[in-house]
Amino acid sequence: MVNIIALVSGLIFGLGLILAGMANPAKVLAFLDIAGAWDPSLALVMTGAIVVGSLAFAVARKCNRSYLGLPMNLSTSRVIDKRLVLGSLAFGIGWGMAGICPGPALVLLGSGSVKGTVFVAAMLLGMGIFEILERTRSINFRKRGQS
Amino acid sequence: MVGTDGGALIGMAVALLVLFNARIAGISGIVGGLFGMQKGDMNWRVAFIAGLVAAPLVWQLFASLPAVRIDGSYAVMAIAGLVVGIGTRYGSGCTSGHGVCGLSRGSLRSIIATLAFMGTGLATVYVIRHVFNFWI
């Protein structure tokens, strides 16, 4: 059941991105181009999503368990660190270069876009590099702890 | 309004995932989590990604897909994709995880992250289009 919900959620998410125009990189770049022919319509997408999303999280906050009985332990980290800020700053540069963020990238992949596919492949490579760096870091951390 | 309708659909997807599966619909986190290779934590991720990738195919059953334009070259796609992959993992989220879910929860971390990536996103487009005045 968990997997069916995930599949349906992913599908609705993707249809929402297409309907909103978020899956069109030219439109995303027009939204980010405030000094040019600015297209503010994507702000409406964020607003629409946040209005519905905040209702959902308001309900979720009051539940100990999800409707499928899973523990509702959502992240409560409040740490503002260098990783959060520098990582997000870097993400914005990539987003501004291509007009593509991870969700729309996967929708572009599904629509058969070759450039979208190149973006997804590079994104997965980047995530893989992060994973390797993280594991190396935790191994070194443990080594230091033992000595 | 197409924008708010699309946004409301995204919000519904977020609602479904958190209320039933107790999960945050953050795309970079869902995809990046696959690299953890943790048993029992893989299938729902694959299912969500499959739904997302299948969305344009399902859309085409009912209507033709809206036009898409990608101006960047292949090299730009490769560099931008790499930066987005590394950046979203270090920053623990992207437009969906921080921008939609995090702001919906009123998370301070997500507000900071969203300001950061919106800031560099706007700055990058400004520099490319209005300082150097070229299309990449």
Q: Do A6 and B21 touch (CB under 8 A)?
A: yes
Helix axes B108-126, A25-32, angle to 10 degrees: 90
Q: Does A127 have pLDDT greater than 80?
A: yes
What's the CA gap between A82 and A61, in Å, rounded? 28
Which of chain B's residues have a Cβ under 8 Å away from the Cβ of A105? 81, 84
Angle at A29 between CA A26 and CA A35, to 5 degrees: 130
A59: part of which helix (H) or strand (E)? helix A41-61
The answer to whether position B136 is within a domain reads no
Residue B121 lies in a domain: yes
Confidence of residue B109 (pLDDT cuts 50, 70, 90): very high
- The stretch B107-124 carries a mean pLDDT of 96
**∠ Cα A74 B53 A21 (to 5°):** 90
**Do B14 and B101 meet the contact criterion of CB atoms below 8 Å apart?**
yes
Give the pLDDT score at B110.
96
Task: Tell me the ipTM for this assembly.
Answer: 0.94
Between CA B52 and CA A104 the distance in angstroms is 9
Residue-wise pLDDT tens digits, A14-70: 999 999 999 999 999 999 999 988 999 899 999 999 999 999 999 999 888 999 988
> B101 is in which domain, residue-wise?
2-131
Whether the Cβ atoms of residue B26 and residue A53 lie closer than 8 Å to each other: no
Q: What is the pLDDT of residue B136?
A: 53
What does chain B come to in residues?
Answer: 136
Q: Which residues of B touch A35 (CB under 8 A)?
A: 126, 129-130
Chain B interface disruption, residue of A34, A55, A57, A124, most B CBs within 10 A: A57
Across the interface, whether the CB atoms of B70 and A19 are under 8 A apart is answered no
Whether B20 is in a domain gets the answer: yes
**Residues B68/A108, Cβ–Cβ less than 8 Å:** yes
- How does residue A75 score in pLDDT terms, banded at 50, 70 and 90? confident
As for how many domains chain B has, the answer is 1
pLDDT, position A73: 78
Which tens digits make up the pLDDT trace of B42-92? 999 999 999 999 999 999 999 999 999 999 999 999 999 999 999 999 999
State the DSSP code for A22: T
List phi, psi (to 5°) of A7.
-60, -45
- Confidence category of residue B21, pLDDT binned at 50, 70, 90: very high
Chain A residues inside the 8 Å CB shell of B15 = 52-53, 55-56
For A145, list phi and psi in degrees, rounded to 5. -65, -30
Q: Closest by alpha carbon to A48, among B12, B8, B83?
A: B8
- Give domain status of residue B21, yes or no: yes
Q: How confident is the model at residue B134 (pLDDT cuts 50, 70, 90)?
A: low
Quick check: B32 pLDDT over 90? Answer: yes
Please calculate the CA angle B51-B52-B56 and round it to the nearest 5 degrees: 100
Cβ pair A94:B66 closer than 8 A: no
Structure tokens at B129: 């289009």
Give the 3-state DSSP-derived string for chain B, with helices as H, strands as E and coil as C.
Answer: CHHHHHHHHHHHHHHHHHHHHCCCCCHHHHHHHHHHCCCCCCHHHHHHHHHHHHHHHHHHHHCCCCCCCCCCCHHHHHHHHHHHHHHHHHCCCCHHHHHHHHHHHCCHHHHHHHHHHHHHHHHHHHHHHHHCCCCC
Give the residue among B95, B9, B116, B107 at the shortest CA–CA distance from A57: B107
Long-range contacts of B62-68 (CB under 8 A, 24+ apart): B65/A18, B65/A111, B66/A18, B66/A21, B66/A23, B66/A24, B67/A24, B68/A23, B68/A24, B68/A25, B68/A26, B68/A108, B68/A111, B68/A113
